[in-house]
Chain A
Amino acid sequence: MSVRETIYASLTVLAAVAISTAARADGETIAVFTKNQTNPYFQAVRVGADAAAKALNAKTLHYIPTKPDSIPEQLSQVEDVVVKKTDAIVFIPVDYKAMVPSVEKINAAKIPVVNVTDRSAGGKFVSFVGADDYSLGLETARYLFKKLGGKGNVVIIEGVKGSLTSIDRVRGFNDALKENPGVKLLASQPGNYQRLQALQVMENLMQSHRQIDGVLAANDAMAMGVIEALEGANRTADVTGINGTKEAVDAVKAGKLLATGDYNGFLQGCVGTMIAIRSLRNEPVLPEIVLKPTVVTKANSQPYETPIESRACPAWDEASKLGRN
């Protein structure tokens, strides 16, 4: 998969250079920037971007730092793209502050750029497409508390301290807690978005808390680590994650995971790329689409069973209505 992608990507670079003066009506090249090759979420964004490009007869070129989330690598990749002058850019900054000068370089080169997933702290964008971490956290926690009947003991496993996604998701969890005074927060500890650390943190928390009814994990990998810890100790609790990864959806179907807040990388990749292409073709776009939060549960997991590779992007009419108003 990856090899094919790389070869395809390098071929499209050559093609883009060769035909850069050709007619622009079709076959635009869109540079898609994602943060890393390890997180399945960004894989979903890339697949979504490819699906949109294919449907609209354009091409994608993927730029992924070899060292996950590397700022210097993304800086130099942006410089490459500015020199190559791809037609448009779909951009997930590895760091929402550090990449601002790069966005300004893209602006100076007059390449239209769509911001996806993490909102950049500066620069000019055609549009922003993302999910809202705060409301995802809020809705997922609300779902858990409803399942618990508005009472019980819960713990929160936080992500990387200081990361925007973790701050917002945990804020959502805490606001849902305020709405449910019967639910008691026993502890809020960092798992750094790592499966192993979440497993160990949960093992430790089980030592000091005899009764844990629910666990809110700030991502799916940590939720799965928590489930392993519970199983290892022969204990049960309702666990929720966030991201809607395939692994988590499988666990929801199997009844091991209560729910996962869907970050919907596929749709973000789709819509972001559609907007980039539409702006090149002077078709109307929206300045911002923040996807409504969806909580994947056993009741609604059916559509998620289709592998992302065989999903289709929605038509623009539908896509433009996906945002919350």
Chain B
Amino acid sequence: MTDLTKQVFAPRALISGDLLQVFYRLIAALLICLALTFLSESFLTLANVLNVLRQASLLFFIASGLTLVVLTAGLDLSVGANVALSACLAGTVIHQTGSPVLGVFVALATGAVIGLLNGLMVTALRIPSFIATYGMLWVLHGLTYWYMAGEIIHGFPAGFRQIGSGYLFGLPIPVYLMLIFLGIGTMFAQRTTWGQEIYAIGANPVAARLSGIPLSRRLLLVYAVSGTMAGLASIIFLARLNSAEADVGESLTLPAIAAVLIGGTSLFGGVGTVFGTFVGALILTLVLNGMNLLSVNASWQPLVTGVIVILAVWLDKATRRGE
């Protein structure tokens, strides 16, 4: 290893530091939970905890792939539109062929292809990721609106819908999937060379290239993963809502980006964890859950959401300053 490589990889060796950060990140989420436990007797019940986790899963799938992109100091604005197109195509395939397996394959493939195209625009054409994926967002919206022409596909086989609403040993199936992908994502980012290279690219792309990291291939990988995760989210979406329509994704992109950033991943790259994103998704979901349980007036809900998000991030920063 050259000195430069050592320098690039050095901060990542402090796994204990990561653990500490993860711990602090959880404080905000736990405080919200504590407050809700006092305010509503329905909050801290097994049923509601599982309910919150299941709701958080959809956001987590989209946001976890996005985390890798943000770690490289990039952004993927097309995730919501990706979910919409993948869901509509997969929905059509399931309707036409009656085969959920084929539908799942189509959703994942659509997501992956969109992600790869994003990656190619960023690497081969050197278009900044914000612009490339913003353009992709419109292309995908356009394709989806044209394809659906105001129609709604609804009514899927009961077996397929189990993916979204079914239980296994008392746990909702999307929660299993979330835990699996949380594990895979964390292992990949923290414990594999490729994962470490992704952090290195975000921290210092020049140093990363000089130390022999294949920049383009790794970037292609993160955009493809982000796209594929959006494809996965579209399956959960279809299975939970039992329908596909053109505008399903519009309300998903900004919360997904927010989950990544609330979770402590830096927009400038190189800093962050998939677990942090999990906590970010959890915080956003808890806020909605709490407001519904407490029947907060509809007029106040946006304001309450905004204040809690800001407080959560501030708390995180404030506690870490003492490190």
**B-binding residues in A (CB < 8 A):** 1-3, 36-40, 42-43, 66-68, 158, 161, 186-190, 192, 194-197, 199-201, 203-205, 207-208, 221, 224-225, 228, 231-232, 245-247, 250
Contacts and interface: CB of A to CB of B under 8 A. Distances in A.
A247 B241 CA distance: 13
B63 to A, nearest CB: 15
How big is chain B's contact interface, by range? 35 or more
Q: Which 6 A-B pairs have the closest CB atoms?
A: A43-B150, A204-B292, A232-B165, A208-B42, A38-B247, A190-B298
B237 A221 contact: no
A195 B248 contact: yes
A205 B292 contact: yes
Contacts of A205: 292
Q: Is the interface of B mostly helix, strand, loop or mixed?
A: helix
Contacts of B247: 36, 38-39, 68
Contacts of A1: 149
Contacts of A39: 150, 247
A221 B245 contact: yes
B151 interface: yes
A195 B295 contact: no
B40 interface: yes
A239 B69 CA distance: 42
Nearest to B146: A2
11 contacts: A37-B145, A40-B152, A43-B149, A43-B150, A68-B250, A187-B292, A187-B295, A203-B55, A207-B47, A207-B51, A224-B242
Nearest to B288: A200
Contacts of B241: 195-196, 199, 224-225, 228
Contact of A38 (B47, B58, B150): B150
A37 B247 CA distance: 9
A207 B47 CA distance: 7
A205 B292 CA distance: 6
B293 interface: yes
A188 B245 CA distance: 25
A247 B251 CA distance: 21
B192 interface: no
A204 B150 contact: no
Nearest to B166: A232
Contacts of A195: 241, 243, 245, 248
Contacts of B99: none
